[in-house]
Amino acid sequence: GENVEQHPSTLSVQEGDSAVIKCTYSDSASNYFPWYKQELGKRPQLIIDIRSNVGEKKDQRIAVTLNKTAKHFSLHITETQPEDSAVYFCAASIDDMRFGAGTRLTVKP
Amino acid sequence: EPEVTQTPSHQVTQMGQEVILRCVPISNHLYFYWYRQILGQKVEFLVSFYNNEISEKSEIFDDQFSVERPDGSNFTLKIRSTKLEDSAMYFCASSVDRSSYEQYFGPGTRLTVT
């Protein structure tokens, strides 16, 4: 089955800096790659996703890039704010969705 | 905006007891999912359900688990004989189409097995 690796496990940045989280996946048939933000005690919330026919997608301060050849995808958050602090999960999907282990992002004011 | 709902928010049960976790997916969605998240760990796929049958299931989803859509709105997860290690947050999700589409998560049910 699909295996998703996510790095780093924790990331601390200063407010206004950029944050980058990277994921790799094992199954080249995966075709959908969402990113979820989870605040403490809350449900995962979809923040951005990308499909395998696209290399990059941007939504305001958030962007995702996908390299299908290398089987990795990344989340980029620019101009980070304290409210971006949360755990971020990547996932890869064919018929079922497999999540990475999560990155705890802390944005220091 | 329509949301996935789940009940109860917290369930405490004794080891060996059966529990049923309930979900109401978004009304026009066709695919339903259950995920598990042990405290502090990643979200783990359990099962997907489409057209009144299981579509995919993970290695976690063994014989003690079952899912059902008993009526037109509810989607349930039953754990037959709970174990201590079943303690986790259980999330239901739904999507318009199969898993290559956005999945919307419910607020979760925290299951505590004592």
Contact B103 A97 (CB under 8 A): yes
Are B99 and A42 an interchain contact pair (Cβ–Cβ within 8 Å)?
Answer: no
* Count of CB atoms situated within 10 Å of the CB of A57: 15
Both tokens of residue A89? 């999960």
In chain A, whose CA is at the least distance from the CA of B90? A43
d(CA B107, CA A41): 9
Q: Could you say which residues of chain A have pLDDT below 70?
A: none
User: Token match 């919307």: residue?
Assistant: B104
Mutate to test the interface with B, among A33, A57, A88, A96 (most CBs of B within 10 A): A96
**Contact at CB, A32 and B99, closer than 8 angstroms:** yes
Q: How many other C-beta atoms are found inside a 10 Å radius of the C-beta of residue B30?
A: 14
Contact A44 B43 (CB under 8 A): yes
Residue spans of chain B under pLDDT 50: none
Return the pLDDT at B2: 85
Which of A43, A49, A96 is facing B107, going by the closest CB pair?
A43
pLDDT attached to residue B100: 63
Contact A97 B98 (CB under 8 A): no
Contact of B44 with chain A, judged by CB distance below 8 Å, is answered with yes
Question: Across chain A, how many H-helices and E-strands are there?
Answer: 0, 11
Name, in order, each residue with C-beta under 8 angstroms of A87's C-beta and a sequence gap of 6 or more. Answer: A37, A38, A39, A102, A103, A104, A105
Q: What are phi and psi of B85, to 5 degrees?
A: -75, -5
Among A21, A14, A26, which Cα is nearest to A36's? A21
What was the pLDDT predicted at A101?
Answer: 96
Residue B57 sits at the vertex; the CA angle it makes with B21 and B33, to the nearest 5 degrees, is 45
Which residue in A51, A96, A99 is closest to B56 by CB distance? A96
Pick A46's closest partner by Cβ from B42, B43, B102.
B102
Token pair listed for B80? 């037959």
